Structure 1
Amino acid sequence: MISATGPSTATKIAAVAGGALAGLAAWALGDPLASMGVSPRLHLALALPVAVFFAAALPALGPLSAPRAAVLGAGLAVPLTVLTLLASFRFDDAIAFVESAHALMAVLVVVVIAVPILIAALRPGQHWRRYDDLFGNAWDIVLRCALAVAFAGLGWLVLFLGDTLLDLVGIDVIARLFDDDPQRFTLTGLLIGLALAALAETGLGKGQAQVLRLLRLLVPVVMAVTAVFLVAFPLQGLSSEAFGVLSEAGTLMAMAFAAALLVTATAGADDDGAARSATLRWCAAVLALLLPALSGLALVAVGLRVGQYGWTPDRLAAASIAVVLAGHGVVYAVAVLRGAGWMARLRQGNVAMAGVTVLVALAWLTPVLDPQRISASSQERRFARGAVSVEALDLAAMARDWGRSGDAAAERLATGDTPEAAALRERLDAIGSGRRDAPRLGTPRGRVDLAETLPTVGGAPVTSEMLGALNEWLLGQIADGCARATGEGRPGCLVIRAELLEAGAGDEAVIAYHDDTDTPRLIVLAERDGQWTSNAAMEIDGAAPDIDTLAADPPGGAAAPLRMLPLGQGGLVVLP
């Protein structure tokens, strides 16, 4: 927790300036960098260390001085960036690596656990192995960051109301001041930094105690629900159809995490900070004894799923979480079973399990836990022993989503000497547009290839220049829509050429595509002065025609009579 003297003025200034700089960096390292044609891997190499640095250093300001917080941020940013970049070479395309998300989640886990430990290591008077220091630092960071984000939202609400009020008298200074993305991002970061500086000065010692007191009220409820579940569960049997589904395992893991959190909150930072109620202590002890069964069932559920369908990256992630939770369960149960002083033993067990969790997360960034390689090998072995048919094998996921290892495994299966190899080759060729030898959609070649696949009605076909107005994510959504078949077997995408605005103003087009609903989404493209612009994807009314109807009877543009009521510098446009 923050000392009574509070942080220095220089530290508070650093928090405010650091927040503003973090916001500006978040904008600059986003779309502007991508629009410059920077390769995705270089983009990752530039953005990740900045993100890790600010995510670690900003919460440390206050407990630490600005130089020490900078050392902490850099000490995490450099090795995590190196490990992540090395892991990114599991994929030919860094965008696919980022979209897989598993490695980035591992980075987040390391940052969240390591920051309180490093603060204790760098802060005078604290020690990284002393539990009360780690406990206080962790809760202080959680509360300050949550309040800082809430303050930033409140700040934007005040600015919005202020802009609305001034707009009544024709003053739009606030709207013009924050009309562009750089200013908006910078202001958001500045508000967060301002809140962190203010909260670091006042400290949150009493706030921590109040939050822990509220959490402890839930211990009897969670203990009772868990006990009832564990008593009733054997009636279902481990082989029930519902059990072994990954979502069921997720529910068990979420409940196990909540139980571990509540037991930890009851134990507090030390004996003086632990719950005083004998009832709460007893309920927490029972909950600690139930935790191994709860986390163990989660592990069994994941294991059943893996036994049925083999490893995938998501199942490997679920198994990693389940193993960590099961480890906590064993530590907690042993601490209670050893009798008096169980809370002290539980606190030391939490320190050890924090180290284990960091090691597991780091393993995801090394060849030890390469989820794509492990998953591809698992599916290959299952196919070789006849556990999965040609039709059931998720060849698309292997070739598209599992990086180089998945693509290599798919090629080996399709070029083998098995009777099924020809059928696998046919399937693999059909999904070739998503494999590593296909150009990224955001590249000129990728846009040309996508433009050639888009069916068009009402005018000239779409061009790659038109698609240049869309970011890579939207292009991917359109490509996915085209890969879906409509009820009549058409691609689930369509370009409608029509005169949408005043005659002679320029060219327009509407791209309609299906996501996972029957109603298409729409993107409007418009050409003005030789440049194509677009809006975001729009949802339209559920009664709107689907792709088949639009293709069979393409709508034409129709002029709509408009009336405008002048209001100050703007006006109210009324549609009939």
Structure 2
Amino acid sequence: MTYAATDPTGRASLDGARGLAALRIGIGLMQGLILYLLYRSASDSEALAWPATQPSLFAALVLATLFAPVMLLAGVGRMGWKALALWGVVAAAVLALMGWHDAAQRASDYFHPPYLRFPVVAFAAAALFIAHHLIVPAVAARRWIADFDDYFDTAWKAGVQLVLSLGFTGAFWLLLFLGAALFRVIGLSFLSDLLGKEWFSIPVTCLVFAVAVQLTDVRGGLIRGVRTVALMLLSWLLLVITVLVAGFLAALPFTGLDGLWKTGSATALVLSAAAALIVLINTAYQDGREDNLPPAALRLGARVASVLLTPLILIAIWGLSLRIGQHGLTPDRIIASACALVGVIYAAGYGWAALSPLWRKTAWMKPLERTNVLAAVLTVLVILALFSPLADPARLSVNDQMARLKRGAVSAAQFDYAFLRYDAGKAGRAALAELAKSPDAEVARHAKAAQASTSRYELTDATTPPRAPNIAPWPADKPLPAAFLAPTAPPDPRYACNSDDNCLAAQRDLNGDGRDEILLATTYRIALFAQDADGRWVHQGDYQVPHCPGPGAGGRDLREALKDPDLKTAAPPWPDLKMGDVTGRLQPETVCPKPAVVNP
């Protein structure tokens, strides 16, 4: 339902079209102005201005300003003014609260404007899109639940409009940059300078996007035509993904799941495949009307794809359960679990829609409609819970990891203190402070080291348990000193020597003091070790060897180069520069030997 009158050509009538255009342009300009003011308050990282000095408030304003106006642009002309105003206030408030929470629960010394993480931005946009297209048809129908074809028509039309509007905005900027380049050719830089001014670029971008929404809206028939073509093309891709997924599942009994788990991203891959199936099944089903049935091949493909969703979701849940059982909860695993929960609804509903005709007479895939509505509502609720105090992934992860440590599921040496320090926000910092007071001396020591660290890499090096390196001597009959093979931890290069053929070490007296030093070679690195006054082997630095194509030390495995019988020291061609307490050492320019010319 639309509140703008239309003429026989499909355009909004003048009494409504001009008003809608003015309103959309006003919304775009207002959005651009607010975003520019927010940008200006945060543009100087050394001297932030209000509201950038208040991270929670700034994040709330940014998230609400990014997405609430876009929702208003889409809702203008499709909802009554009172309903649109109420929905706009509610949507802006929810977005602001999501942004506020995201910034408020994070540590204050490791983030900068706009104080928002990518997941909250992406999921907020998804939740707003879904919620808006649940509300608009319901308001138009004056019912809590509208007809499915209204949901389909509204959501897919808006999706096409969004893509076209973004494309129009991008094309507009490409033309501006092209024009700026043309003017620069003749020595005029005014347009280039203008494009570099945020007071121009930010409002103009929002204005052009608003104009694009208006232009696509006044030709509803054209949008439906583009949507029809897009759905037709995408629906045939359903057959491709169905064959691929079926082949993947059929191969699993012969290959096993070990290879899948070794990827480290098995759950994300499987859930992505399930999401692709869900989207493409809907491109084939469309609004479900009998006069809009797809060809028989697509109907069969949609049924098979719907059945394949169940094993995919089960594999994702299995993989998640294994990882959580081994390593506990993390924010990423909690978000993946939420996605799997939504996936269970889709798999159950789509499986029922595909198989129910076996025992009852029903229209093709008809139960899919209720599944889509239920899953859409659940998705919005899950996103709101995840990015609010209700089910904050950081807090839940911290509680789980602390419980694992207390019950002995993970040792004090293997516990991930870096997660608490750098990834879990204020909840993690609070837990780390609690661990620093632990009666367990080892736990307290690691926790205090984490609190004092200034980078994740520093903390990882400090808390990694030492291990004995596995280093082969050269020559093989000249064993390495036992002290050199003592257990080490990062960043000592010996820590990376963990296999039989990984590292090779040779003993040489390089400085003529009568004592051997040790050269430790890997494929691309030669490290120098020398004993200190206490007899410890200390890493002195690395030899920089240019990587050159063809034969020679720079073009082959440095472990083989270390075996060269002509290996010897050479005086540097240029001396060091002594500048008081500072010594400067020349880094020579890499010069590779020219390949020899072979005469035919």
- The question of a shared fold, defined as TM-score above 0.5 by the shorter chain, is answered with yes
From 93, 96, 111, give the equivalent of 2:128.
Answer: 111
Tell me, in whole angstroms, the C-alpha distance in 1 between the residues paired with 2:217 and 2:145.
20
Preserved CA contact (<8 Å) 1:96 1:401: no
Aligned residue identity for 2:397 = S
Which shifted more, 332-341 or 42-51?
A: 42-51
The 5-angstrom pairing of residues 52-67 of structure 1 reads 52-64=67-79
Instruction: Structure 1: give runs of 5+ residues left out of the alignment.
Output: 435-483, 490-517, 519-540, 544-548, 557-576
Instruction: Give deviations 1:349-380, integer Å, cap 9, x for gaps.
Output: 10111111111111113433121221112111
Which shifted more, 36-45 or 216-225?
A: 36-45
Instruction: Give deviations 1:160-196, integer Å, cap 9, x for gaps.
Output: 2223334444554533543411101112112211111
Tell me, in whole angstroms, the C-alpha distance in 2 between the residues paired with 1:60 and 1:69.
7
Instruction: Structure 2: give runs of 5+ residues left out of the alignment.
Output: 457-489, 496-524, 526-545, 549-575, 588-600
From 256, 265, 280, give the equivalent of 1:237.
Answer: 256
Tell me, in whole angstroms, the C-alpha distance in 2 between the residues paired with 1:95 and 1:103.
17
Change (3 A) 1:486 1:176: farther
The 5-angstrom pairing of residues 131-210 of structure 1 reads 131-203=148-220, 204-210=223-229
Tell me, in whole angstroms, the C-alpha distance in 1 between the residues paired with 2:400 and 2:68.
37
Aligned residue identity for 2:278 = A
Aligned residue identity for 2:255 = Q
Deviation at 1:290, TM superposition (A): 0.8
Change (3 A) 1:70 1:272: farther
The 5-angstrom pairing of residues 173-572 of structure 1 reads 173-203=190-220, 204-238=223-257, 240=258, 242-243=260-261, 246-272=264-290, 274-339=292-357, 340-431=362-453, 553=584
Tell me, in whole angstroms, the C-alpha distance in 1 between the residues paired with 2:31 and 2:344.
37
Q: Look at both structures and tell me which one has the larger radius of gyration over its CA atoms.
A: 2
Structure 2 residue aligned with 1:48: 63
2:28 is equivalent to residue 9 of structure 1: no
Preserved CA contact (<8 Å) 1:14 1:66: no
Deviation at 1:312, TM superposition (A): 0.6
Instruction: Give deviations 1:317-369, integer Å, cap 9, x for gaps.
Output: 11111221122111100122211324221012101111111111111134331
Q: Secondary structure at the match of 2:105?
A: coil
Structure 2 residue aligned with 1:20: 29
Give the count of matched residue pairs.
Answer: 451
Tell me, in whole angstroms, the C-alpha distance in 2 between the residues paired with 1:10 and 1:25.
22
Preserved CA contact (<8 Å) 1:249 1:298: yes
Structure 1 residue aligned with 2:478: none
Tell me, in whole angstroms, the C-alpha distance in 2 between the residues paired with 1:245 and 1:265.
31
Q: Secondary structure at the match of 2:268?
A: helix
Change (3 A) 1:402 1:152: same
Structure 2 residue aligned with 1:29: 38
Percent identity between matched residues is 26
Aligned residue identity for 1:396 = A
Change (3 A) 1:95 1:52: farther
Tell me, in whole angstroms, the C-alpha distance in 2 between the residues paired with 1:542 and 1:182.
48
Change (3 A) 1:175 1:421: closer
Preserved CA contact (<8 Å) 1:15 1:58: yes
Change (3 A) 1:42 1:335: same
From 122, 142, 146, give the equivalent of 1:129.
Answer: 146
Tell me, in whole angstroms, the C-alpha distance in 2 between the residues paired with 1:126 and 1:421.
58
Q: Secondary structure at the match of 1:47?
A: helix
Structure 1 residue aligned with 2:512: none
Aligned residue identity for 1:110 = A
Tell me, in whole angstroms, the C-alpha distance in 1 between the residues paired with 2:187 and 2:494.
54
Deviation at 1:229, TM superposition (A): 0.9
Aligned residue identity for 1:147 = L
Which shifted more, 79-88 or 134-143?
A: 79-88
Tell me, in whole angstroms, the C-alpha distance in 2 between the residues paired with 1:301 and 1:96.
32
Deviation at 1:55, TM superposition (A): 2.9
Tell me, in whole angstroms, the C-alpha distance in 2 between the residues paired with 1:126 and 1:255.
34
Structure 1 residue aligned with 2:88: 73
Change (3 A) 1:161 1:5: closer
Tell me, in whole angstroms, the C-alpha distance in 2 between the residues paired with 1:326 and 1:416.
41
Tell me, in whole angstroms, the C-alpha distance in 1 between the residues paired with 2:262 and 2:399.
22
Q: Secondary structure at the match of 1:343?
A: coil
Q: Secondary structure at the match of 1:198?
A: helix
State the superposition RMSD in angstroms: 3.4
Tell me, in whole angstroms, the C-alpha distance in 2 between the residues paired with 1:300 and 1:245.
15
Preserved CA contact (<8 Å) 2:285 2:294: no
Aligned residue identity for 1:75 = V
